[in-house]
Structure 1
Amino acid sequence: MFFSSQFEPKGKTALIVGSSQGLGAEIALKLYEQECSVILVARTASKLKAQVERIVSTVGKKDNTEIYYISSDVSNYKAAQDMWDEVFHKRGQDPDFIFCCAGSAVPKLFIDITEKDINDGIDINFKTAYNVCHTAYKTISKVHSNKESHEYKKRTIVLFSSVISVFPFIGYGQYGPMKAALLNFSIILRQELKPFNFRVATVIAGNFQSEGYDVEQQTKPEITKVIEGPSHAMPASECAQIILKNLNRGVDTIYTDLIGWFVGCFYLGLAPRNWYIVQIFVSLLLLIIGPIVGWSMDRDIKKYYQQHKLSATVTEQAENSDLTTTSTKKS
């Protein structure tokens, strides 16, 4: 629905979680450039401070427009509550836009994923957004308890999922399930918060250049690269511009590239449509060719494991070696 809602940042306030680098930082810059006050939130204070300085030096100091940061690990629920307490009660602000940009992928084969990888995947890719939205809604409900639901001002929540959530494949077992959970969460959140004048938009992001993207390449399995194929990572600033442009058009399921939109047709469900009629025809086509795509991926994966030693075998040998060493020491 292109004209159901507009996005007008000037004179408003945006809180951006995951804005110490990458896409979140570029969104902060572009919003501040449009005279929207921005609150940058992430875990590392030094990175946040550097981004605030970069933004101000890039676009210049804006009159009557604030920019500051809050260092907080909002994957911790209490920390998320404290963050909103500072924004609402200490700063006296009531953000119009909430961007949940935090995300971190550790591409590995399932056997190689560590306990830390699992916990980080859940914390960064899901709990951060969930905690921020839940504590925000409870705080707003308390602050405006004297109002009827239709009297709430218009607010927008933007959740950041991934193409992997709609087209999952080998190597993203630590990341994909959490981003898929966010997509599911966005539908439920939209249903519950719409009566209170909340708009909930979801970004199905493709590859974009960032520090995180460079780190991903260090652990990404070869079979993952084969299935992904040649992938162009667009500049984060360009990706941010696409997102804000689509928000302004009233789009609530935002794809950052054409391939993302195409594979997104594999998953439509209850999510808002983007190019509704075209998506229906493409999804019908994918119903036919989907099994062929799946067969091709399975063939490549089987071939990969035939040509490479299984990580499980290597791990098992290492564990046996450790047991032998321990037994020798005890003797």
Structure 2
Amino acid sequence: MKYALEDQIVLITGGSQGLGKQFAQKYLNETVRSKIIVVSRSANKLQDAIRDIGGYPKKLQKSTDIDEQNNRIWYLPCDLSIPESVNEMFENLFECKLIPTQVLACAGGATPKLVADCTGKELEIGVKNNYLTALYVSHKVSQLLPRCHLVLFSSEAAFFPFIGYAQYAPMKIAVKSLAFILRQELPDARVSCIYPGNFLSEGYAVEETTKPSITKEIEGSSAAISCAECCNRIVWWLEKGYDDITSDFIGWILMSLDMGLNKHNNNSFLWILQLILGVIGNLFIVPIYMVFLSWDIRKWHKKQQTKRGKK
């Protein structure tokens, strides 16, 4: 199934900010016939997002005239972590005869903290926003749209989870697993899984305010790319026919190490080379790196204990 921006009916979850908003802008500005439906919990944020990208915000309702001249984008408030709300959303789409050919499940976000420092509510939000939203949308796609292109958004953290991302990374690993399973269950669909690294967005700015210093140290000093650049890279790889996509070279290396000898059903760039790198890396490089990483984490914990002892 070939990926294209034009002549699509695209449903974008998490469409009020970040990559979801960026994809909505790309479809709106670079096509003339595609129709776009953006979804998130907040109607106000969706309206603002559509205005920001040059559209006229109009809520999708069962009475909506989709043939109205000069209107190709609609918003639909929905809590995607509630299955009944997702059911109602798809009922609205079918009632309006807006049957998606592409579904981009972009909803999600992290609150980087030590797990002990997270509130119960923050942990619950992590599960809801980063996994249940993708799961419930995928559930309806598998029931109603068995021939569409489903694009799930995981994270580079799914390949290498580490300290500070307990509220986030396990759910992104689950999304990766979900993509592999759906490829087996939906032979007539195309299921892609995206693993972005750091990119500049509203969510990224908030994450930096809670991120532990050891998490920043492990991530390194590489600058986050722009949201537009991240979107463009993803589109470029999708158009080339790949379905397991990272947004930078580090992500590609981490995917290689995660694969090891288990290709499973990855459809990524130079996957044979990734298998070789994964075997060599896991035998000779990763064990040495993990020794130094464990040492750094122990030092960080000792510093935190010293700080607490001085208070």
| Corresponding residue for residue 260 of structure 1 | 251
Query: Which one has a bigger Cα radius of gyration?
Result: 1
Q: 2:77 aligns with which of 71, 83, 92?
A: 71
TM-score w.r.t. length of structure 1: 0.84
The Cα shift of 1:281 comes to 2.4
| Corresponding residue for residue 4 of structure 2 | 8
Retained in 1: the 8 A contact 2:11–2:102? Answer: yes
CA distance in 2, matches of 1:111, 1:84: 38
| Corresponding residue for residue 267 of structure 2 | 272
| Corresponding residue for residue 87 of structure 1 | 93
CA distance in 2, matches of 1:310, 1:243: 44
| Corresponding residue for residue 168 of structure 2 | 175
Are residues 1:245 and 2:236 paired? Answer: yes
Amino acid at match of 2:81: S
The Cα shift of 1:11 comes to 1.6
| Number of positions where the alignment pairs a residue of Structure 1 with one of Structure 2 | 292
Are residues 1:191 and 2:184 paired? Answer: yes
For each residue in 1:188-228, what CA deviation from the matched residue of structure 2 results, as whole angstroms up to 9, or x when unmatched? 0111012xx21000001100111110000111111111111
CA distance in 2, matches of 1:237, 1:88: 31
The Cα shift of 1:267 comes to 1.3
- Structure 1 segments, 4+ long, off by >4 Å, are 62-65
| Corresponding residue for residue 152 of structure 2 | 159
For each residue in 1:231-255, what CA deviation from the matched residue of structure 2 results, as whole angstroms up to 9, or x when unmatched? 3111111111111111111100011
| Corresponding residue for residue 20 of structure 2 | 24
Are residues 1:120 and 2:120 paired? Answer: no
| Corresponding residue for residue 209 of structure 2 | 218
Amino acid at match of 1:279: Q
| Corresponding residue for residue 43 of structure 1 | 41
| Corresponding residue for residue 232 of structure 1 | 223
CA distance in 2, matches of 1:261, 1:307: 33
CA distance in 2, matches of 1:74, 1:202: 19
The unaligned stretches of length 5 or more in structure 2 are: 57-67
The unaligned stretches of length 5 or more in structure 1 are: 141-151, 318-331
Percent identity over the alignment is 36
Retained in 2: the 8 A contact 1:32–1:65? Answer: no
The Cα shift of 1:156 comes to 0.4
| Corresponding residue for residue 305 of structure 1 | 301
The Cα shift of 1:31 comes to 1.4
CA distance in 1, matches of 2:236, 2:216: 30
Q: 1:209 aligns with which of 190, 197, 200?
A: 200
Higher helix share: 1
SS of the residue aligned with 2:186?
Answer: helix
Amino acid at match of 1:207: N
| Corresponding residue for residue 133 of structure 1 | 138
SS of the residue aligned with 1:185?
Answer: helix
CA distance in 1, matches of 2:86, 2:245: 26
CA distance in 1, matches of 2:184, 2:306: 45
The Cα shift of 1:63 comes to 6.5
| Corresponding residue for residue 292 of structure 1 | 288
| Corresponding residue for residue 102 of structure 2 | 97
SS of the residue aligned with 2:116?
Answer: helix
SS of the residue aligned with 2:278?
Answer: helix
TM-score w.r.t. length of structure 2: 0.89
The Cα shift of 1:10 comes to 1.2
CA distance in 1, matches of 2:216, 2:53: 34
The Cα shift of 1:307 comes to 1.5
Retained in 2: the 8 A contact 1:242–1:256? Answer: yes
The Cα shift of 1:94 comes to 1.0
CA distance in 1, matches of 2:50, 2:268: 35
SS of the residue aligned with 2:44?
Answer: helix
| Corresponding residue for residue 328 of structure 1 | none
Retained in 1: the 8 A contact 2:79–2:86? Answer: yes
The Cα shift of 1:179 comes to 0.2
Query: For the structure 1 residues 63 and 45, does the alpha-carbon distance in structure 2 shift closer, same or farther, using more than 3 Å as the test?
Result: same
The Cα shift of 1:157 comes to 0.3
Are residues 1:106 and 2:120 paired? Answer: no
| Corresponding residue for residue 65 of structure 2 | none
Query: For the structure 1 residues 298 and 48, does the alpha-carbon distance in structure 2 shift closer, same or farther, using more than 3 Å as the test?
Result: same
The Cα shift of 1:155 comes to 1.4
Retained in 2: the 8 A contact 1:49–1:69? Answer: yes
